[in-house]
Amino acid sequence: MYNPLEIAANIFSVGCRDWDIRDFHGYSTYEGTTYNAYLIKDEKNVLIDTVKDEFADELLENIGKIMDPSEIDIVISNHTEMDHSGSIPKILHRIGEDTPLYCSKMGHKNLKSHFNRDYNYKVVQSGDELSIGKRTFSFLETKMLHWPDSMFSYLKEDAILFSSDAFGQHIASDAVYDDEIGDEVMSHAKKYYANILLAYSGRVQKLLQTVTDAGLKFNMICPDHGIIWRDDPSAIISAYDKWSRQEPSKKVVVIFDTMWKSTAKMAKAVAKGVEDENVSVRLMNTRKWHRSDIMTEVMDAGGIAVGSPTLNNGIFPVVADVLTYIKGLRPENKVAAAFGSYGWSGEAVKILNRELEQMKLDIIDEGLNVQYVPDKNNLEKCIDLGRKLGKKVTEIC
C-alpha cells in the first residue's frame, strides 16, 4: 500500500508502486516502477490520470483516505497508454460514469477505442483552461511525447506541471522526491529518455522552446512514473535539452554476439583499438545485456561497432533484436562499423552494414569479415578498426 502524500496544499499523490515488474513492454525495469496519479481538492475535485487496471482497487483505497471517491468531480487523462488509463472504467464506475473526462483530441479517440464506451469526454487543446475554484489548469498538447494523445496539465497558481510520461523514470522506492533519492535518479531518467523518448527528440526541442517562450515556471514537475522533481526541476529540463540534442560523446559501444568466441575475440580487439585512442568503450554482448541497457549506452555514444557471426545465412537473432530496437529509437550523430566471423557463406557483415545504413549512421569502413577463428593478423585489423572508430569519434565530438 502506498500512503497518499500531500505534495502541496490540497494536492495529493495517490498512485501505486509496482515493485515486481521487471519487463515493461521490452524495457528492463530492475527496480520496478510506479504509476503516479494525483488528486487535487478544490471547489471541483480533480483526479489526474489513473493506474494499471490491476491496481485500480489500491488507487480507490488511496483516494478514500482523502475523500470519498464519489466526491471526484473531474478526471483528466493526460495519456491513454494502459498503465495510466487502465483503471478509468473502474474509477468511473465507482464515481459516476457521467463524470467529465478531460483529454486531448487523440486521447478521446484512443479512450473510445480502448474501452468502447461513450464517457462524458471533454476534449481540450493547447491553451485551453479549466477553472476548478481557486486554481486553474492550462493544457498543453505534447503530441508524440510519446503517443499522439499525450498532453501536459499545468496548474497555474501553484506552478506545478503534471507531465505524464515525460520526465519520468522507472523506479519504485521509498523516495517520493528528487532530493530524497539523490543523483541516482538521473541514470533512471536517462534510461527512460533513451528508451521511450529518443525517437521524438526534435519534438522535445520544440516543446522546450515553447516552454521557454511562454516563460513557464515550475515549482514542481510531477510525472506519471518515479519521483517528483521539487528540489531542482530545472535539472531534468536541462537533461532533456542535452539528451534531445543527441550530441555525441567520446564513447564507442561495441555490440556483439558470438558462437565459438571468434566474434567475441574480434569485439575485444576492436574495443582495445578504441581505447588506444583514449576514447571510452563499452563492450556489450547481446546475450548478457538487456536491449534497453544497450540503448541507454548508445544514446550518447559517438560511435557503435556491431559484430555478429553468420548463422544460417543471416545474423544472430539476438543481434537482430537489438538492432531492430535501436533503429526504432532513431539515434543520430554516430559513426559506425561492422565485423563478424563466419564459416562458409559470410553474409553477416553485409547485413549489419545494411542495418547501419538504414539507421542513417556514418559507416566509416566496409567492415571486417573473418573466416572461422581470427589469427594475429585479423586481430590487428580489428584493433585498427577500433582505432579508426576512436579517431572519428574524437573528430565529431
Active site residues: 25, 79, 81, 83, 146, 165, 192, 225
**Does residue number 149 form part of the binding site for ligand FEO (CB under 6 A)?**
no
Cβ(113)–Cβ(103) below 8 Å: no
Q: Which is nearer to ligand FEO, 162 or 316 (CB)?
A: 162
Torsion angle, CA of 194/186/237/48, rounded to 10 degrees? 90
Cβ(74)–Cβ(102) below 8 Å: yes
CA distance 309 to 44: 62
**Does residue number 225 form part of the binding site for ligand FEO (CB under 6 A)?**
yes
Stretch that binds ligand FEO, among 1-9, 76-84, 95-103, 328-336 (CB under 6 A): 76-84
Angle between helices 291-299 and 317-328 (to 10 degrees): 50
Stretch that binds ligand FEO, among 56-64, 77-85, 340-348, 371-379 (CB under 6 A): 77-85
Interface with ligand FEO (CB under 6 A), residue from 17, 41, 52, 84: 84
For the bound state, the minimum distance from the C-beta of residue 63 to ligand FEO, rounded and expressed in Å, comes to 20
Residue 141: which of 155, 123, 128, 125 has the closest Cα?
125
Interface with ligand FEO (CB under 6 A), residue from 17, 41, 79, 265: 79
Cell of 125: 487543446
Cell of 397: 565530438
CA distance 266 to 5: 53
Interface with ligand FEO (CB under 6 A), residue from 58, 81, 257, 300: 81
Q: Which is nearer to ligand FEO, 197 or 337 (CB)?
A: 197
For the bound state, the minimum distance from the C-beta of residue 195 to ligand FEO, rounded and expressed in Å, comes to 11
For the bound state, the minimum distance from the C-beta of residue 84 to ligand FEO, rounded and expressed in Å, comes to 6
For the bound state, the minimum distance from the C-beta of residue 157 to ligand FEO, rounded and expressed in Å, comes to 27
Task: State how far the alpha carbon of 338 is from the alpha carbons of 77, 170, 309, 356, 383, in Å.
Answer: 45, 32, 11, 8, 13
**Does residue number 224 form part of the binding site for ligand FEO (CB under 6 A)?**
yes
Cβ count within 10 A of residue 38 = 24
CA distance 321 to 233: 35
Distance of CA 294 to the CA centre of its chain: 13
Number of residues that bind ligand FEO (CB under 6 A): 9
**Does residue number 191 form part of the binding site for ligand FEO (CB under 6 A)?**
no
**Does residue number 293 form part of the binding site for ligand FEO (CB under 6 A)?**
no
For the bound state, the minimum distance from the C-beta of residue 41 to ligand FEO, rounded and expressed in Å, comes to 25
For the bound state, the minimum distance from the C-beta of residue 35 to ligand FEO, rounded and expressed in Å, comes to 7
Q: In the complex, which residues of this chain contact ligand FEO (CB under 6 A)?
A: 79, 81, 83-84, 146-147, 165, 224-225
